Each structure stands twice: as structure tokens, then as C-alpha cells.
Structure 1
Amino acid sequence: MEKLFVSVGLFVCLVCLVKCMRLSQYLFLSFCKTSPSSFLRSMGQWAVITGAGDGIGKAYSFELARHGLNVVLISRTLEKLQAIAEEIERTTGSRVKIIQADFTREDIYDHIEEQLKGLEIGVLVNNVGMLPSLLPSYFLSTPGESQNLIHCNITSVVKMTQLVLKHMESRRRGLILNISSGVALRPWPLYSLYSASKAFVCTFSKALNAEYRDKGIIIQVLTPYSVSTPMTKYLNTRMTKTADEFVKESLKYVTIGAETCGCLAYEIMAVILNLIPSRIFYSSTAQRFLLTRYSDYLKRNISNR
């Protein structure tokens, strides 16, 4: 029995040590002024960004162009893409290609593949996604079409990865960033469908990274908590990052491992939330808190932009 307790104690200490080392990496990279430009350019000439018309996707489009990559912008609204493309070309000098596509549909991928032919794609950012409601709600009360969310949050990641990964494999280099969410790190009641769809992105990404990392390809999943974007109604709290802030910091961590929250603040938040025991996290009391006080908190902090 004594040996068992000693073994468990050593295991807990080892886990704590690993977490401390991981946080130390984040602290170093957060305050380090090194630029990932040369690394990103070494992956290939072009970066492809889905959901590039707003928020995180738009921020990645500008930031990757600033690092010297040409960018392919894919989104639903042509007018937004044209305006963003013009600004990127004017401010960065990078080449821009736009593809209009609605990721809630399944019949778009042959067109996208045709448009991507001949491009040396070094970076893919699978960013496009849907959040049925920022406010917590029961599954049967969640607004929107569930099949659209599945196509947008899950099918898009699988299909875009299939299109791009085969060419990265033949060149033996490439970087795929899959944008998931902090609510994917454990099942979140009252965000059930969104949480589950983003959990798929996590599992899929980490499995693929294990399969392809020895072929020179990095596949990393990012699990940020709330970022101030149109999807989150420009939520503004002390812990909320803007899309530009999040993207600039997240690119520092592209070589840190298969999974990252994308910034130091969200890594700390994830550690704290994971300390909450499951019996408390999934209790009816916790759900009542989300439906009442947390909902009121969100409403107070949603921007009227």
C-alpha cells in the first residue's frame, strides 16, 4: 500500500512538472521578440485561410501576409473578400487570391480544389466555424440548423485538410492550424453541439499530427476561449482577446506541440477550469449558474457594434 501511495505521488509530481515546463515555454515565447516569418515562409509560398471574411480568419490573413506569404481567402461574402484582398495587397505587397464558398454546403470542394491547383500551399488555417448562440441554452432550444453547423465546423476541416495535406506530404513540409475552442477541452453542457463539434476538431487534429509529424508536417489545434469577433458579438471582458491580439501571439507557438490554447492567458484559464471536479462542473447548480448569472454577464459585456 505504501508503494502504491508513493507511486501515485510521484506520478502527480511528474504531471505537475510537465505542466510547469509547458507554462514556462509559454512564458518564454510570450516575452520573446522573435518573429516566425522565416519558419512560415519555409513551409511554402501560399497560405489558405477559411472564414477569412471576419474575425480570426481575417486577422490570420493579414498577419500571414505581413510575414511574407501570399494568401488565399475563402469565405461566403464576396464583397468582404474583395475589400480585404485589396487592403492586404496595398499594405503588405503580398499576392491575394479569393474564393467565394459557403461552408454550410457539401458541394463546394471540387470548385475549391480547382482554384487551388498549381499553388505551393505551405500553411492552411481551418478557421471557418459557427456558434449557434453565444448565450448558453439547452440543446432542443438551440437556434439554427444543426446540419449547417456540422458541415461548417466538422466537414470543412476534414475536406480542406484532404485537399491540402496530400500536396504537403509530397513536399514533406507544411503547417495546418485548426481553430477549435476552449469548450472542446471537456464537454460543456448548454453548448453541447458546438462543444462536441470542436472536440472533433481537437481529436482529429492531434491524431493527424501523430500520423504526419515524421513527414515534416505540423498539424496543430488551437483551443482559445472567447475572442472578440462578430461571432461572439464583440464580447469585451478582461480575459477576452481581440482577433488581432490572439493571432499575433498564437503564431509564436506554432512549433510548441499538437495542441495549444493560442496564448498564455488562455493556457492559465484552461489549467484553472480543469481543476473544477466533474461532479461540480456537470451539476444542475452549475447549469443554473450558466443560464442565469453567466448569461447576464455575457449580455452586459456584448458590444453594440
Structure 2
Amino acid sequence: MLQGDCSLPGVPTTTSDRKKRVNAMRNRLDIKGKRALVTGGASGIGFAIAARLAGKGAEPILVDRNQASLDKALAELRGEGYRAFGFQADVTSIEDLRLIKDELEKKGLTPDILVNCAGITLIAHVTATDHDEWKRIIDINLMGTINAIEVFLPAMTERGCGHIVNIGSIDGIIPVPGQSAYCASKFAVTGLTEVLYYDLRHNGVGVTLVCPGYIKTPMTNTQTIKDFPLHFKGARLVERFLELFGGSPQKVANRVVDAIAGNKFLVIPGLPSRVFYHYRRLFPRLATRSGLGVAKFFAWLRSKVPKRALQSI
């Protein structure tokens, strides 16, 4: 059995084989020939990861709710000569994911790698966030991740081989004023992923938590922003910020694929995000004061807006 290999579905494995795979997973995973299911895989970071994995010899399986984006993504991958598969589904529906699992098993395409990338965001003061918005953010960002893990993890643990990547956020490590719902969902993903790492350490399944900062993607271009005088879509100020400090999906994808291959747990793409992360760890009181300063700034911005401005995703 080659290092990092996963046995084929339905092929019995011995305890000895499983132990060998567990030991191999503590080192590196050979990505070539693996099947990688990516939720939110039709655009942004998800597509960049899928494309990078394909370039390393994996077979990407894209899951996305947007059929048009999915068709475009598959055409691009196949146009490059890669073998790729796609399913339209809503990650908040565990039944959708179970149907995908059944279809993949029938075709002998059980995923070896799971990348949970589907997500949305909301910028709003906690008092301006209504119940439906809370539920939508939590359902997609957190429950969507949990649903995919519940459906696709058992096959990995049975084989004693696999890897799970959860795309969190720097906002899941550092609280950001004006993003209560989003931060809540991403802090939960951070905690979930850390526990997964502990629980699966001896099962041969690697776990990676990715916490990007500001990345220029379709999500950041269409964020829901409430009670603020500027919005991300077409806002030159934010465009300039992303140009200076933001990263690209491709750079994130490179880091993610390297982390999968090297079985690395934490990935924080982008120098600014890493600086913020270590700043909060080393100087927690100063970080809290900084957060209060940002909150005051946002409060001042809101005071300049006479009417509630809402841009839906």
C-alpha cells in the first residue's frame, strides 16, 4: 500500500493496513488520483482549490447551488483536459448531499478529500441583523459544513484515509465589529475543525482549517451590507483595500493544496491576516482596544447614513 493511498470502495481492509494508512497520513498524502469534493466549488476560492487539485492529478467533484456557474467551471476544467464532475445542490440540505453521495458510490467515485468552501457573509450591526439573516448565515456557513462532514466522513474513517478542509475565516479567529452573524458562524467552524483534528487524529483522516483574510472573490464583491454608507460592489475604497492587502483565490488554493499534501492543520493566507492573528495572541488587551476603536468608527459611519441601505446577495 503506497503512502497516503486510499483503498477502493467496497474493498475489505485489514487492521494492519488501516494502521499503516494512519501512520502515513501523519506525514503526507499523495494527491494524485484522489477524488476531491469541493462545496461552493464553482467560483472564488472553491473553484481555485478545485483547479489546483486537478493540476496536481486529483479528480475534482464540484458542488454548487448556482447551475450556470457550475457549468462554466466544469467547462473550464474539462477544457484544460481534467476529469471533473459537478452537482447542483444546497449544502443546507443534507438530503441533497446524501443523494450526491449515493450517486458517487454507484459510479465508484467516493471522495478521498472534502473541501467545505460554501459560504456567505453579512456586514451589519448586531441590532440590524434579523432572525432570518442569522439563520441563513448559520445554516450555510456552519450547518452546511456539518452536513457535508456527516455525509462524507464515514467512508474516510472506514478506509482509514482521507482529508477534510474547512474554509473558515480570519473573522473566525479575530472578532470584527459589524459582523456578528458571520463571526459567530466562522468561530463555530474554527472550534468544530479543532475538535475534528483531535477526534480524527488516529483515524487516518487529516484535517485542515483555512482562515483567509480579505480575498477578492464573488462573495466579497456581493456582500450584504446594512446601515453603512458604502458597499463592496463597485466601492473604490474597498477595491483599493483588496488590491493593497487582499489576496487572490489562487494564492489561497496553493496554500490549501500544500496543506493537504503535508497534512498541515492551520493555514492563514496573507501577511496582514497573519499579523492580525499574532497581534491578538500576543497583545490581547491592545487587540480588544483596537476592536472598540473599529466599532466606534463603524458607529460614526452609520450616523452619517439617514436611510437604511441594503444590498442583497
Q: TM-score range by the shorter chain?
A: 0.7 to 0.9
Select the structure that is richer in helix. Answer: 1
- Unpaired segments ≥5 residues, structure 2: 1-27, 222-231, 233-238, 305-313
Aligned length: 253
Task: Return the alpha-carbon distance in structure 2 between the equivalents of residues 279 and 225 of structure 1.
Answer: 18
User: Are 1:163 and 2:151 counterparts?
Assistant: yes
Deviation of 1:150 after TM superposition, in Å, equals: 1.4
**1:72 match:** 61
Contact 1:105 1:148 in 2 (8 A): no
**Structure 2 CA distance for aligned equivalents of residues 229 and 114 of structure 1:** 31
8 A Cα contact 2:45 2:253, kept in partner: yes
Change (3 A) 1:269 1:293: farther
1:269 and 2:276 correspond:
yes
Write the distance in 2 (CA, Å) between the matches of 1:41 and 1:282.
40
| Superposition deviation, residue 40 in structure 1 | 4.1
Give me the whole-angstrom Cα distance separating, in 2, the residues matched to 1:156 and 1:262: 23
1:108 to partner: Cα distance: 2.2
Q: TM-score scaled to structure 2, two decimals?
A: 0.73
Q: Distance in 2 between matches of 1:153 and 1:263?
A: 22
Q: Which amino acid aligns with 1:153?
A: N
Maintained 8 Å contact 2:255/2:267: no
Q: Residues 49 and 279 from structure 1, CA distance in 2 versus in 1: closer, same or farther, beyond 3 angstroms?
A: closer
CA deviations 1:68-92 (Å, max 9, x no partner) are: 111110001112111211210121x
Find the aligned partners of 1:85 and 1:130 in 2 and give their Cα distance: 22
Q: Residue 289 of structure 1 aligns to which amino acid in structure 2?
A: F
Shift of 1:111: 2.1
Residue 258 of structure 1 corresponds to which residue in structure 2? 265
Q: Does 1:177 align with 2:165?
A: yes
Residue 131 in 1 paired to residue 121 in 2? yes
Query: Could you say which residue in structure 1 is the equivalent of 2:182?
Result: 194
Q: CA deviation at 1:268?
A: 2.8
Map of 1:70-149 to 2, 5 A cutoff? 70-91=59-80, 93-105=81-93, 107-117=95-105, 118-133=108-123, 137-142=124-129, 145-149=133-137
Name the SS of the counterpart of 2:209 in structure 1.
Answer: strand
* Contact 1:205–1:258 under 8 Å retained in 2: no
Q: Highest relative contact order (Cα 8 Å, sep 6+), 1 or 2?
A: 2
Q: From the superposition, tell whether residues 123 and 292 of structure 1 become closer, same or farther in structure 2 (CA, over 3 Å).
A: farther
CA distance in 1, matches of 2:30, 2:300: 44
2:254 to 248, 251, 257: 248
Aligned equivalent of 1:280, options 280, 289, 293:
289
- What letter corresponds to residue 114 of structure 2 in structure 1? L
Cα distance in structure 1, aligned partners of 2:273 and 2:176: 17
**Amino acid in structure 1 at the alignment position of 2:266:** E
**Structure 1 counterpart of 2:199:** 211
Q: Distance in 1 between matches of 2:116 and 2:270?
A: 18
Is the deviation greater in 152-161 or in 182-191?
182-191
C-alpha deviation, 1:156, in angstroms: 1.1
Structure 1 123/223 Cα, relative in aligned 2: closer, same or farther at 3 Å?
same
Q: Hey, what's the Cα distance between the residues in 2 that align with 1:265 and 1:280?
A: 18
Q: CA deviation at 1:238?
A: 1.6
TM, length-normalised to structure 1: 0.75
Q: Report the CA distance shift for 1:116/1:140 in structure 2 as closer, same or farther (over 3 A).
A: farther
Q: Tell me, in whole angstroms, the C-alpha distance in 2 between the residues paired with 1:103 and 1:140.
A: 28
Which residue is 2:245 aligned to? 239
Match of 2:41 among 52, 61, 65: 52
